Structure 1
Amino acid sequence: MEITGDEIRRQLLDADALDPSGLRLTGATIAGQLDLSDVVAKRPLVLRDCVALQPVVLDRAQFTLLDLSGLVAPSVSAERVNIEHDLRMSGAVLTSADEVALTLRGSKFGGSVYLDEGFSAVGAVVLNSAKIGGVLFCQGARLRHSGSALQGVDLHVGDAIFLSHGFDAEGGERHGAVRLRGARIDGQLILRAGRFSSPEVALDLRHVKIGKDLLMPLSGIDGAVQLEGLVYEGLPRDATVDEWLSLLSTRTPYYSTQPWVQLAAAHSAAGHERDVRRIRVAAQRDLRRRGQLSRWGRAWHLIRGVTVGHGYRPGLALVWLAGVLAVSIGVVLVSGAVRCSAVEQVGYALNVATPLVKVDAARCTVAPSAGGQFVLASTWVLQILAWAFATLFVAGFTGLVRRNA
């Protein structure tokens, strides 16, 4: 069956002559261009398994329901379209020779959008600033573009987004293969069993707000990710803490504090304090490696990390303090310059090095020799170190208690 685009437009405009179920065509070839720009359709339009030889233009049109399932066309332009219920494009194949295969920029949908079950697009799929009242279904979709294969900048979805179960987006070098920067998702973002690949950024979730769960296994992401400003509820699912630590440390383009803070806050809310400390220590390591620190700032940051784990492992300072005491005892015993019994020599070593504990070692004297001078100089240095480690422990422990209060 063959029908012209002009005939479809004429029938839609003559809504009173249509059946209440709307205009329905199956397996038709659409000759000429189907241009329904600015059409206010009072009946559903259903074009299932049809073939359009030229790009389909629906800009600023209004539909109660639009079903283009199985459509084969070069491209579909539907900017600022208003659809009362659903848009269905399951199994559609768009083979654009231009940059954009499907654009729904600024469009409004009262129901859901179906780009699933074999939907295929060579060229960008653009959902920027669109508003979807229900769900965005993209399971099994296959998208290819030299830039961003799926663009959803400032997209608002009232329920969930499914980029899962066979979803495959392959992008180029300019932007993320999937770019959802600034999107708001009131339900879940589900990336389970999806694939996202790009030579550079595979997934751009900057400043995305997710009202419920984030389901994001990392095995399907082939490329870098951008996560600064990403906010989600609960614990991120489908990836372990270790996988997230690796992701944030090695697969983000640059250091950003917020993704670390968000991950730590999620685990803190779940009561996983051990994981919280691991996350915060890993964040500090990433800051030292990639953050904007001066040379001295980086050196001091390293010292704090080694001694007290940046305040999250104050027990490390006690280990260093014990090491200082052991060195002090070794210096005194080996030098032979301290004259008293071995037990009293140990007490003397603890006296001169320990800032908090004093042991009776009054009978010990230091010989006025080169060895004695070495012992005195060494114990002065060791006492400074002991005081420093004791102070670091107290400061780190106090800070840790304050953060957990």
Structure 2
Amino acid sequence: MTPAERQVWNAYPTGEWVDFRVGDRERDDPASGDGWGPERTVRADLLVALLLGVRDPEPGRTAGLRLAGARITGSLDLSDATVTAKVHLLNCHLADPVDLTDITAHGIRLRGCDVHRVRAARATVEGLFELDGSHIHRGVRLDNAHVTGQLRMSHTRITAPLRRGQGKNHKFDVRRPMSPGELEERGYTTDTWAVWAGGLTVDGGAFMRGLHAAGGLRLIGARFNGGLYLRGAEVTSVRSIAVNGDHLQATTVEFNNGFKAEGTVRLRGARIDGVLSFHASTVRAPGQIVLHLSHAQVDEVVLTPASLQGTINLGYSRFGVLLDQPDAYDGDVRLNGLVYESLRGDWAVADRLRWLRRSANGYRPQPYEQLAGWYRRIGHEPDARRVLLAKQRERRGTLRLPGRTWGRLLDAMVGYGYRPWLAAVWAALLLVTGMAVFHLIPPAKIDTEEVRHFDPFVYTLDLLVPVSVFEQRGAWEPVGWTLWLANLLIVAGWVLATALIAGATRVLRPVASS
């Protein structure tokens, strides 16, 4: 063993720290760890041997690997192992993969390290699994892993694994950290996931605040029993999806306070028992679905982003509370099948109607019924009627010419029954018109021997009523062109009566069913 390795060997039984840092920020930067000399270099095989029990703990002490500022050479391969000692690496440089596949451990911390790749598929970590502040160059695998404590990846930088392209020169050491520009120049692309964590279970919180992930997050079927926190994180992807959390389950999910994503945030079929927040977030997917939240169940959705560019799909989901704002929706909004218990936000009824009309799929009745039902539940019956009137007007555009014609007539006469006062306005206008005309041009008496006094008001009213109740029609005969007016009044009376009956049926039907 080298002197550096001897220090680690001697410190392990007591769990004491071995710190190779020199106190200079630039020289201690793990990104430059390739240049560290033998005084700071430790072989990964030695660390594996220690963690697998080559040395027993000192009596009365807890063994552990606590190492700072070291250059670790070779692959730290603990796959299939059971590690009882705590592992804490701080500001270390690991140029080869860290393999924790199928491991059972009591706590793993790689804090502020420069790491080639982390594989931890099906790992069981009974405690804290920390990658805070580290730079991981070829992605993290956590699929079907189980962390009983917290998963911490705050301020971690992760780049997806590479795929060889058609570059000029492929003969180089892929373990050496390189900038995105160098990778592109050498013909490599990052077209897979930065974090592959389908089926991951985290019992404590999963803290990814300030995470920088180039390649996207794959969280399909993951369970976050203590919540998922991505406040201030930045996720980019060369594919269309930045975050794939289909069927994700969590108590709380935060994509807020500076969260940025280039690509779709997909949470189809997610189950979130608390708050799903997009407050002050920026997600861009122009021409695509920017937020795919269909078939989900969420207690409360906070949709108050800085910017969501693209289509928002909320179809067939169930929300307890939807807190949103009008400018949250940049493009198409899919609302068919969405059910919510309550709406919050600074919205006028006209804004909500524009919200319903944003769907590029055209008219769907359910969103209108859902919104009207909510207004009715909170006691805003006039607003509910306004929504249902808008529904009928949108529906009219889907009908054939006869249906559209009758619909326009119903709308003008009584507002599809939701504005019955319009019938009174029309009746009053026709009544005044008839009174004026028949006062100037009285009709002729049919039975000259009968003694009757002509009253233009009663005569016009008798024409407007579908069934003659004042017996004026049979007693007086319009003369000249007033005959056309009389016939118009009779037809208008029937139309108004029919419109009122149709409207009353439409208005009273939901009341009766409730």
Which category describes the TM-score, using the shorter chain as reference length? Answer: 0.7 to 0.9
Aligned letter for 1:215?
V
* Structure 2 gap ranges (5+): 1-29, 34-41, 58-62, 65-83, 161-189, 321-340, 446-451
Question: Are 2:292 and 1:204 equivalent residues in the alignment?
Answer: yes
Of 72-81 and 308-317, the range deviating more from structure 2? 308-317
Determine the C-alpha separation between the residues in 2 that align with 1:219 and 1:326: 57
> What does the per-residue CA deviation read over 1:234-290, in whole Å, with 9 as the maximum and x for residues that have no partner?
42334525544333321565554554444444444433434433444444445555x
Aligned letter for 1:69?
D
Picking from 65, 71, 74, the partner of 2:134 is 71
Determine the C-alpha separation between the residues in 2 that align with 1:327 and 1:202: 58
SS at match of 2:99: coil
Determine the C-alpha separation between the residues in 2 that align with 1:322 and 1:11: 98
Match of 1:382 in 2: 492
SS at match of 1:401: helix
Contact 1:317 1:393 (C-alpha < 8 Å) held by counterparts? no
* Structure 1 gap ranges (5+): 172-176
> What does the per-residue CA deviation read over 1:110-151, in whole Å, with 9 as the maximum and x for residues that have no partner?
1111121x2111222111111111111111111122311111
> CA 1:193–1:384 in structure 2 vs 1: closer, same or farther (change >3 Å)?
same
Match of 2:120 in 1: 58
Aligned letter for 2:119?
V
Determine the C-alpha separation between the residues in 2 that align with 1:237 and 1:283: 22
Picking from 222, 236, 250, the partner of 2:358 is 250
Picking from 152, 156, 161, the partner of 2:253 is 161
Of 73-82 and 252-261, the range deviating more from structure 2? 252-261
> CA 1:265–1:385 in structure 2 vs 1: closer, same or farther (change >3 Å)?
closer
Aligned letter for 2:312?
V
SS at match of 1:149: strand
> CA 1:269–1:377 in structure 2 vs 1: closer, same or farther (change >3 Å)?
closer
Determine the C-alpha separation between the residues in 2 that align with 1:367 and 1:258: 51
Determine the C-alpha separation between the residues in 2 that align with 1:8 and 1:305: 81
Deviation at 1:399, TM superposition (A): 2.7
> What does the per-residue CA deviation read over 1:146-185, in whole Å, with 9 as the maximum and x for residues that have no partner?
311111111111x2111111112221xxxxx211111011
Match of 1:192 in 2: 279
Determine the C-alpha separation between the residues in 2 that align with 1:402 and 1:386: 23
Question: Are 2:240 and 1:129 equivalent residues in the alignment?
Answer: no
Aligned letter for 1:169?
A
* Greater Rg over alpha carbons, structure: 2
> What does the per-residue CA deviation read over 1:74-132, in whole Å, with 9 as the maximum and x for residues that have no partner?
3112111111121111111122212211121111111111121x211122211111111
> What does the per-residue CA deviation read over 1:43-70, in whole Å, with 9 as the maximum and x for residues that have no partner?
11111111112x3211111112211111
Q: CA RMSD in A?
A: 3.4
Matching of residues 113-152 of structure 1 within 5 Å: 113-116=206-209, 118-145=210-237, 146-152=239-245
Determine the C-alpha separation between the residues in 2 that align with 1:5 and 1:359: 107
Determine the C-alpha separation between the residues in 2 that align with 1:302 and 1:376: 24
Aligned letter for 2:293?
L
Matching of residues 268-347 of structure 1 within 5 Å: 268-288=376-396, 304-325=410-431, 328-329=434-435, 332=438, 336=441, 338-339=443-444, 344-347=455-458
The percent identity for this pair of structures is 27
Determine the C-alpha separation between the residues in 2 that align with 1:330 and 1:240: 47
Contact 1:163 1:192 (C-alpha < 8 Å) held by counterparts? yes
Match of 1:183 in 2: 270
Contact 2:434 2:456 (C-alpha < 8 Å) held by counterparts? no
Match of 2:159 in 1: 95
> CA 1:387–1:148 in structure 2 vs 1: closer, same or farther (change >3 Å)?
same
> CA 1:226–1:35 in structure 2 vs 1: closer, same or farther (change >3 Å)?
same
Number of aligned pairs?
390
> CA 1:310–1:128 in structure 2 vs 1: closer, same or farther (change >3 Å)?
farther
Aligned letter for 1:31?
A
Question: Are 2:108 and 1:45 equivalent residues in the alignment?
Answer: yes
Match of 2:309 in 1: 222
Deviation at 1:343, TM superposition (A): 8.1
Contact 1:108 1:130 (C-alpha < 8 Å) held by counterparts? yes
More helix by percentage: 1
Determine the C-alpha separation between the residues in 1 that align with 2:373 and 2:482: 55
Aligned letter for 1:156?
Q
